[in-house]
A and B are shown apart, each in its own frame.
Chain A
Amino acid sequence: MSFDMANAEDQQLNNNMKLIKSNLCYLLDYEEPRAARHAACDESSAANVLQELNLIVNDLTLDANAPQFEFHRYGCPQTEAMQKRLVNLSNSGAKKKSNSNASISAENNLVSRHIRDQQQKENIQNREECGSFAIELNGDCIERNPVLRLMTIFKSLHEHLNTELPSNQLNSMPSDYIFDLPKKCSLPSGCNVRHHAQVLCTKLERFHARQRRILETNRHFDYTRYTECDELLNKVFNDLQVLKAFTKLELRQRASQLLTKVALDNAAQLEKLLLELLDHLKAAHIHVFIFNWEMDLEYRYSSAMKATLHETNKRVLQLATVELQAPRALDSVEQRMVEHYQLGNVISCAKQHEDFLTALLESPENYFPPEIIGLCDPPKIVRNLPPNPNLNVHARLQPLDFVGELPPLSPPRVNRRSHVPRINRA
């Protein structure tokens, strides 16, 4: 039995168990003469217990409802009669206890035995069918399961269909949003490949139509660009037509394993198609988008809009130069503090909070409540203030003629509370 969990309750109980067992065995084995047994009676604490009873008898509320009490001293026949049973009892208890204990504390043993058995079985099996190892570890991080591969492609296709290409609306969000905006999720659950294909077809059709519409609105601006995009969209459309066929082909699977040879072949075909589709989709999407964006900029923007855009761009370029600057270095004073006073650590800590500290120094008004700010202004109504033993002293000090006068005789009670706009305050 492991003793490293000596603290466990059961362990404790178990130890107790052992103790009582040994005690009781000892009692049973110890066949001493009757006389000696009687001597033992004298060792008994019956007298103590009785004495105790005398003391507290008034505190015990012994009404009719009070439980009964029977005391059998050491050596009493009653106790002896009980002992055998106690041993039985403890034994049976021990059996029960150790059973449950075994399942808990010897879990490790069980497990390792289990492992051993398993390993043995494993070894035999491995020797028999060499090479056909159940877990697929190839070391190249490439998915071997065609269904899972398909699923990944489906997922990324959906991902692409859902993406919004960047626009300036996105940038108006504050940067503190940690997480992305809620996104539409249209990927069907489960591994039914045909169903996936079906859903994808519907989505693709809508996507294609949307892109087509955008493209058509720009047709008259630039025909060469239009034909370029048109071609790309047609490619997508062709892929879509092929994909539709797959919704009716054999692609059955169970537990992500394709069932038939036909299904396997079809899946391979489908995979090729989807990868191609992905490329076409990307190209079409980007081209149509950029075409539209450019035409927006050139033809649809008013001159005022163009002017503001130009203006912002100029301003931003200036802003960008800040990004290029290296982080602020230590100024001369700080440098001196680092070198002369060995305050390197403190300075580097303070540097991390430089913005806050500077702001606090420059305009403390922003960081303290008004009643605290008011402390350095003359009090409004002096009379309403509580009696302050130093009031008179200060009143005398106020005129400037008293420069060099003695300090106040007794400072007021120390006010221990500070009003730091503490960052660390809980």
Chain B
Amino acid sequence: MDQALRNKFFPQQILYFIAGRRCCQQFACTFRSSEHNILVTYACSLGLRSQYVVNNGQGCVKIFKRSCMHYLNEPKSLNMCRSTAREIFTLLSLTSNLGIYELSADYLGHWKVKMPIHHMSLAALNPPTTMRLRTQQYGKYLPSSAGYSCIRNLLESVYSHRVIAVNGHLAMDKSILFPLVILDDAQLKKANLFIVCIESDNIVAEYNSERFAQCLDESVGNTVGIQVPKLCNISSRTHIVYTTAKYFMRSLFGKESKKLDQISHVVVNDIHLHVPYTDILLSELKQAVNMNQNLRIILLSQADNSSRFLNFFAEGFEFCVDRPSQAGTRISYLEEIQSCISLADIRKGPEIYKKKTHFLNKSLRNEQTDKCLQAYEELGNDSAIRPLIYAINYELVPVNYQHSFTGKTAIIIASQWANAKHIRLLLFMGANPYILDNNHENAITTAFTHGNHECIDILSNFGLHGYVVKNSRPDFVDYDAIINIMYLICTKPNYAPGNILVLLPTYNHLVKLNYMLLSHFLTAHLHELAIFLLHANMDMEYLNDLVNTKTDTIKVVLATDIVGSLPLPISFQYLIDTACQRKTLYDVSCNSTEERYEWVAKDCLMQRLLMLDVQAVAERQCFRLITRNTYDNLDVTGSPEMQTMPLDKICLIAKLLSPNTVISEYLSYTIAPPPLVNIHQTVQFLKKIDVLDDMEDVTWLGCRLIDVPVPCQFGRTLIYGILMQCLDPILTIVSAMSIDDPLSIPFSEDIDSLWDQYTIYIQNRIKGERSRLASNQVSDHLIFIRLFEEWKGRLKNNKPPLYLTDEHEFVVNGLMEQINFTRISIINALRAANLIHSQGQLSWNSINLMSNKWPLVKAALTGGLYPNICAIDYKNKCVNSAHSLNLHLHPSTVLRDFFQPLNISQCICTQWMVCTKEKSNIKYATIVAPLALAMFAGCNKLGLEQITEIQMPSNETHIHFFIDEWIWMEVLKSDFELLLKLRQLFFKGYHYLLRQCSESDKWRSDCNMMAFYSLLSKTLSIIFDNEDATAGFKKCSGISNGANLKEHYQYLRTINSHFIWHQEVDDKIALIQKGDPCVGYNSHSIERQFFLLHTEDKPDKFYQISDAAYIENVIGKFARPIVSPSRHIYVILYTKNPDTMLSISRAKIQKGEFILKEYFRNTIPVYEILEACVNLNVTVPNFDGRLISSLIDKRVGNLIMDLFAFRHHWIHN
């Protein structure tokens, strides 16, 4: 028998393995050690690597191919320092007396998980009683609506069909109209009525419920109610409730079959968007329709084809409302837009920064890129260009990088070598062949001198294509183009004044464009308009601001997709549509997510077009920042989100809705079933992070996470934060990771044309800033905390300052507003999930006792982000992970420098890191102590069976500890026992928290368990401090102890209204009073005067101490005679020693007094101003500072203003 094993069976198995697609394979645990030896020897002879591992308590052999990254050569050692061991020992002995340390069910078996029920407190189904008077609003609503004519038809179809699908455009306001019609009818007939209106987003539900209540002349909470996570207002008189699919389904958990008994109608709005939760709700509704004969379902869509939905329900009636004709709308595509702009002769501000200035110092990165170019120039073959291509592709070097001395770009060199293949590739990659080197040659002329036909052909063909084609890509928003269009609309007479809607893919884009517009407005290059923002994560105030503005104000609305669900009472005349969207994609192969920009589908563009007001405005124009050709090739409808997105929350919700169905089966019956492999992978992942158990049932963790609005992995991290009493920093990290990184390193294309040539410099500066924030702790996650803390420190009276400094400041403020918003909503959700209490051991203060202990925060991150763990291979300078794909460090992480595979100072002697990755890139990583991994990684029931004795006799005291399928460590036996006990103790706390957190009386500070709890986190904090110190980390200071900032900042809203709105009102009133003819749109005739004001103080102090009287005294006597509504006075603050300009503000007369409204604040050295003057041929002024104030030349004044407005954070600071 052994013969057969040795000679036939194992060889054959290994051959199968090599032929197969797997990178590694584990052999069954049934084989015994003698058989293991045979296997290993044979595998070795074929060049395979092998390892003895313990998995699930069973020893077995694994073999690896050369390429497999699961392979950890040797166990990483875990050395506990003595003081750590002592601490653990003390803790164990203390807790043993508390009676906590007893093996119990949570270690061995399962607890019956009971989902905390959440239900809408609905009244009994009854007819609406009070007969409402038809108020003016109400009366106005019905007849005027576009759908009025078909109300009869509609009612008939509601009575005759159980499911109806309605197609109609946004302006029809279907989700108010239809419930209203039904309510009206039910009142007449005294029929039972309870309508649930499902909206796609919280803000939409809130907005619609308010408008509906208004229309009934009531307040929300009477006939119309609302129920979304942060707002709940319904009463027994309520007959219509607005909610979201996600929240509504939350109330369906745990109800077996009578899920929708209390409801007569369900109105689902915006089904065409295929919001994942709505899609799942549809399949619940489908089941409900079968059970409940009287349930009526009304599906509202803005797209044309609802038949798909009716097919899904296998019954129903389609009800179509004609779209208004778009005859008067002009649609221009990118080509036309570009030619319009180039023909229009737009006058923007002067290009002050035209000339290369001296502060471009050379960095190591320049040197290395120069050498790459040099090498390519000398060698010229594929191998020589490869490092260059690598640098462009992976290290963010701009493709048009010019050699520091010769000024040659890669494509010039490729032309020199006459290498057509390289030229083509470089052109594809966006190289510009027109760049001149220092000998005034460019790629084309070089190609001609070398006379290679193929190269010349390629280059000339390239030249024949317009630049438009090369420009349009969904992942860039062309801000310059948008600004140009704004100039067109605002300054050219053939564009009538009207409201402008700009559609952008993300919040980040809104913020950036907001700054650009503001700076153009304030410098008066562009006429001032009122700016409003709309996005999904906003407070109602943003929306109210917009809705409540006077109709005669011209508005610019910057919005994300959300505007497509909000029927706004504003008529837009212009639409600037970037036509792109951001999608979060799930990558099955490495179980990671990826953000990708894509063009939106044609029908979506069509719906966006319908936002232009047909009735009110005669001539409408839509600018699509997409080429005609690309548009023609677009899909008609987009793919439903559920098919590509990460499914963790979806799987969880599916399981909770239907506990007895397999998740993949449940999801395969939804209207847009996601790919099976995605589901499978996600379920496996959820099992791994203990959200589902082995039987695919929801665990306690899963129950708690369903209420937390972040992905499961982040939710788990928050739980670890609570357990280790350091929630605040974890909260900041989690919030920041769900928003764009404010310090991501830009690609050359992301940088404005103005700063294009400084790309490398800017990138280096940002990289430098990142490593400053990470301060020797080799952690990207720390950057978020630091950034947030520093921003908090900069606030004055907890408010961001209301002046502009530069774009980066503005964007950071904007993003922090969003982070803060996310933080608050997570805190609220944690409260709702009973994970934060108002008092006792789970109060905010006690779960933040350890918030300033960075080592503990790292440990919490490790536990929370497991299994995203990598091991660093210092020898080969690479990382290993449980993912067989090649993982690489993104150049932005602080773990490496540009052009260096790995750069961690060797004094840090730990080899593990916890990371957040995107595809196969590690974006954020933190080096962690091995003990953290040993404590928190792996299944939470690991026990003694996961170890094995080391074979070598010299090593009797050590054992190998296998944490999961690839992490293993070598530990001292006695240490391991301590570790295991501590682990069990910790997970005891973990289970206790998850199971008992809703019982607030179990968390009073006097409970036995509580003493244990604080003891545990205190000990953990000490031991991780110890471990970090031994591993060579420096002490990390500057993390605050979690002062709770609960304020919603609304920075953008405040600053926009501060600058635009009031001012315009004031001016207009003033102008009207004077009877000035140039009131209104064309106010470019405004003249500006600049005063220079000398001060010794800092601007802060200056503005604080200078009251109206002082300003009157200093400026008044000069300015009063010349100020008029069409002439503005600006005051520039400057100081000697050093010679700098500090701030620029506008002086306004308010109630007969001069007041200063600060526009920009920065520091601009005077020499820079002088230099700019020389460049632009402006007479050089003389700032001598002898006088306190002086009038300066208008051109110089404008120039200084521009210098303030277009200052670049990374270049000038």
Tell me the B1-34 residues at the A interface (CB within 8 Å).
Answer: 1, 4-5, 8-9, 12-13, 15-25, 27-32
- How far, in angstroms, from A291 to B977 measured CA to CA in the complex? 43
Which A residues touch B12, using CB under 8 A?
313
Which B residues touch A347, using CB under 8 A?
387
Most chain A beta-carbon neighbours within 10 Å: one of B31, B441, B466 = B466
Q: Does B356 contact A (CB under 8 A)?
A: no
A-B contact pairs, 28 of them (CB 8 A): A103-B1005, A139-B974, A141-B977, A156-B945, A165-B30, A179-B684, A180-B684, A180-B965, A255-B102, A317-B46, A322-B47, A323-B47, A325-B47, A345-B368, A349-B394, A349-B395, A349-B900, A361-B389, A364-B428, A371-B630, A385-B465, A415-B467, A417-B473, A418-B392, A418-B431, A419-B473, A423-B920, A425-B475
- How far, in angstroms, from A183 to B693 measured CA to CA in the complex? 12
* Additional 7 contacts, C-beta under 8 A, given A155-B56, A327-B66, A408-B434: A104-B849, A285-B30, A349-B899, A375-B465, A417-B476, A420-B399, A424-B891
B845 near A104 with CB under 8 A, answer: yes
Q: Does A50 contact B (CB under 8 A)?
A: no
Which A residues touch B684, using CB under 8 A?
178-180, 182
Tell me the A348-399 residues at the B interface (CB within 8 Å).
Answer: 348-350, 352-354, 357-358, 360-361, 364, 367-368, 371-379, 382, 385-388, 390-391, 393-394, 397-398
Smallest CB gap from B444: residue in A: A407
Contact of A141 among B35, B681, B947, B1043 (CB under 8 A): B947
Nearest-CB distance from A212 to chain B (Å)?
17
Known A353-B390, A357-B386, A423-B921: A416·B748 in contact at CB below 8 Å: yes
Q: Does B468 contact A (CB under 8 A)?
A: yes
Contact of A137 among B422, B974, B1011 (CB under 8 A): B974
Q: Does A1 contact B (CB under 8 A)?
A: no
- How far, in angstroms, from A404 to B688 measured CA to CA in the complex? 67
- How far, in angstroms, from A107 to B840 measured CA to CA in the complex? 12
Contact of A346 among B47, B368, B382, B460 (CB under 8 A): B368
Smallest CB gap from A315: residue in B: B19
Contact of B425 among A164, A178, A360 (CB under 8 A): A360
B469 near A400 with CB under 8 A, answer: no
- Contact bitstring A148-192, B, C-beta under 8 A = 1, else 0: 100110011001100111101011111111111011010001110
Contact of A413 among B47, B48, B382, B467 (CB under 8 A): B467
B386 near A163 with CB under 8 A, answer: no
Q: Does B685 contact A (CB under 8 A)?
A: yes
Which A residues touch B15, using CB under 8 A?
312-313, 316-317, 320
Q: Does A46 contact B (CB under 8 A)?
A: no
B1041 near A414 with CB under 8 A, answer: no
- How far, in angstroms, from A360 to B748 measured CA to CA in the complex? 21
Nearest-CB distance from A378 to chain B (Å)?
5
Nearest-CB distance from A11 to chain B (Å)?
9
Q: Does A64 contact B (CB under 8 A)?
A: no
Which A residues touch B13, using CB under 8 A?
166
Smallest CB gap from B464: residue in A: A379
Q: Does A265 contact B (CB under 8 A)?
A: no
B434 near A387 with CB under 8 A, answer: no
Smallest CB gap from A294: residue in B: B4
Contact of B421 among A4, A104, A182, A361 (CB under 8 A): A361
Q: Does B1088 contact A (CB under 8 A)?
A: no
Smallest CB gap from A285: residue in B: B30
B470 near A417 with CB under 8 A, answer: yes
Which A residues touch B977, using CB under 8 A?
137-139, 141
A334 near B383 with CB under 8 A, answer: yes
- How far, in angstroms, from A173 to B465 measured CA to CA in the complex? 46
Tell me the B424-441 residues at the A interface (CB within 8 Å).
Answer: 424-425, 427-432, 434-435, 441
Contact of A114 among B35, B918, B978, B1011 (CB under 8 A): B1011
- How far, in angstroms, from A125 to B89 measured CA to CA in the complex? 17
Most chain A beta-carbon neighbours within 10 Å: one of B422, B756, B977 = B977
- Contact bitstring A273-314, B, C-beta under 8 A = 1, else 0: 000000000110111001101100100000000000000110
Q: Does A319 contact B (CB under 8 A)?
A: yes
A140 near B432 with CB under 8 A, answer: no
B944 near A152 with CB under 8 A, answer: yes
A148 near B1151 with CB under 8 A, answer: no
Smallest CB gap from B396: residue in A: A424
Most chain A beta-carbon neighbours within 10 Å: one of B28, B335, B422, B944 = B28
Nearest-CB distance from A170 to chain B (Å)?
7
- How far, in angstroms, from A313 to B8 measured CA to CA in the complex? 12
Which B residues touch A421, using CB under 8 A?
393
A426 near B108 with CB under 8 A, answer: no
Known A255-B104, A378-B464: A426·B744 in contact at CB below 8 Å: yes
B16 near A55 with CB under 8 A, answer: no
Q: Does B109 contact A (CB under 8 A)?
A: yes
- How far, in angstroms, from A111 to B1019 measured CA to CA in the complex? 11
Q: Does A131 contact B (CB under 8 A)?
A: no
Known A152-B945, A320-B47, A420-B393: A282·B30 in contact at CB below 8 Å: yes
A424 near B4 with CB under 8 A, answer: no
Q: Does B58 contact A (CB under 8 A)?
A: yes
Contact of B94 among A118, A327, A417 (CB under 8 A): A118
Q: Does B247 contact A (CB under 8 A)?
A: no
B1040 near A175 with CB under 8 A, answer: no
Which A residues touch B888, using CB under 8 A?
352-353, 423
Nearest-CB distance from B898 to chain A (Å)?
9
Contact of B19 among A282, A312, A390 (CB under 8 A): A312
Sorting the interface of chain B by its residue count into under 10, 10 to 19, 20 to 34 or 35 or more gives: 35 or more
A341 near B374 with CB under 8 A, answer: yes
Which A residues touch B965, using CB under 8 A?
180
Q: Does A128 contact B (CB under 8 A)?
A: no
Which A residues touch B346, using CB under 8 A?
none
Nearest-CB distance from B98 to chain A (Å)?
8
Q: Does A62 contact B (CB under 8 A)?
A: no
Q: Does B810 contact A (CB under 8 A)?
A: no
Smallest CB gap from B19: residue in A: A316
A287 near B901 with CB under 8 A, answer: no
- Contact bitstring B442-475, A, C-beta under 8 A = 1, else 0: 1011001101010010101111111111110101
Which A residues touch B22, using CB under 8 A?
170-171, 173-175, 177
Which A residues touch B1057, using CB under 8 A?
none
B901 near A361 with CB under 8 A, answer: no
Q: Does A68 contact B (CB under 8 A)?
A: no
Known A175-B23, A345-B900, A415-B467: A8·B1043 in contact at CB below 8 Å: yes
Q: Does B57 contact A (CB under 8 A)?
A: yes
Which B residues touch A423, using CB under 8 A?
393-394, 888, 919-921
B96 near A134 with CB under 8 A, answer: yes
B464 near A424 with CB under 8 A, answer: no
B35 near A137 with CB under 8 A, answer: no
Q: Does A121 contact B (CB under 8 A)?
A: yes
B448 near A343 with CB under 8 A, answer: no
Nearest-CB distance from B56 to chain A (Å)?
6
Most chain B beta-carbon neighbours within 10 Å: one of A151, A164, A177, A348 = A177
Contact of B97 among A8, A134, A159 (CB under 8 A): A134
Smallest CB gap from A143: residue in B: B944
A178 near B882 with CB under 8 A, answer: yes
Known A159-B56, A313-B15, A357-B389: A55·B1151 in contact at CB below 8 Å: yes
Which B residues touch A91, using CB under 8 A?
none
Known A135-B93, A346-B372: A418·B103 in contact at CB below 8 Å: no
Q: Does B1044 contact A (CB under 8 A)?
A: yes
Which B residues touch A408, using CB under 8 A?
434, 444, 463
Nearest-CB distance from A321 to chain B (Å)?
8
Q: Does A412 contact B (CB under 8 A)?
A: yes
- How far, in angstroms, from A84 to B432 measured CA to CA in the complex? 80
- How far, in angstroms, from A406 to B918 measured CA to CA in the complex? 48
Which A residues touch B17, using CB under 8 A?
171
Q: Does A337 contact B (CB under 8 A)?
A: yes
Smallest CB gap from A168: residue in B: B16
Q: Does A65 contact B (CB under 8 A)?
A: no
- Contact bitstring A195-227, B, C-beta under 8 A = 1, else 0: 000000000000000000000000000000100
Which B residues touch A104, using CB under 8 A?
845-846, 849
